[in-house]
Structure 1
Amino acid sequence: MQTFWLIPNLVTSVVSTAGGIIALINPSSLSGSKKVTDGELYYQRMYTARAIPLGILSGILPFYFQGPMTSSVLLAAAAVQAFDVAIGAGKGDQGMVVGASVATILHMTCFFSLK
């Protein structure tokens, strides 16, 4: 793997993990609601449940392992971010679209650099 891509990938993973932690601590931060409903809380907890472990794994594994396990994690992280792009576009959230697009590109770049 080209080591250049490890740091931007790590930064992207840290930002994604931080988003999961923020959603866990302050659920209204993702929805922008003044009063969080049970449905919003449920989906924000689901977001947190995937963002934190996937963010940690996709950021750290490429530093230590470069086999199929790391490739799978990077591909999964890129797929999740690509879906976030679609969700952000549907919601009209430009920041989510840009941030998730950058994350998708960086995870895919690291994935292809493992080959």
Structure 2
Amino acid sequence: MSDLSLDKLLKKAENKLQNVHEIVQEKSYELIRQAYKESIFIVITEGFRSIEQQHKLYSQGRTTPGSIVTNAKGGYSYHNYGLAIDIALLDNNGEVDWTIDRRWNKAGEVGKRIGLEWGGD
């Protein structure tokens, strides 16, 4: 369980939160802390994205191979302005777990409680 210490999760978030608005950074750390208390282990998978990166993501599943992952063209995503984060949940072994279960809903509730919008709605 040492791999999933709160300090390690917070440290892991630092890199992904560069160029993210200060208030969003603070709320991201708070989300990780509050969820941790409920045994929900959150990692930030994405923060700021350049408009060029957003264009590339938008073309995925449209003009380039892969699944569609966003409906926002470059310049139309909150990520392009440092105002959004994407998260994933880790299992007890520290591996990303994409299983949609009560933990996701609880993470969303925690986020909304601290003033974030939850894209899962």
Q: Which has the higher helix share?
A: 1
Q: Which has the higher strand share?
A: 2
Which of the pair has the greater relative contact order for Cα pairs under 8 Å at 6+ separation? 1
Normalised to the residue count of structure 2, the TM-score between the two structures is 0.32
Normalised to the residue count of structure 1, the TM-score between the two structures is 0.33
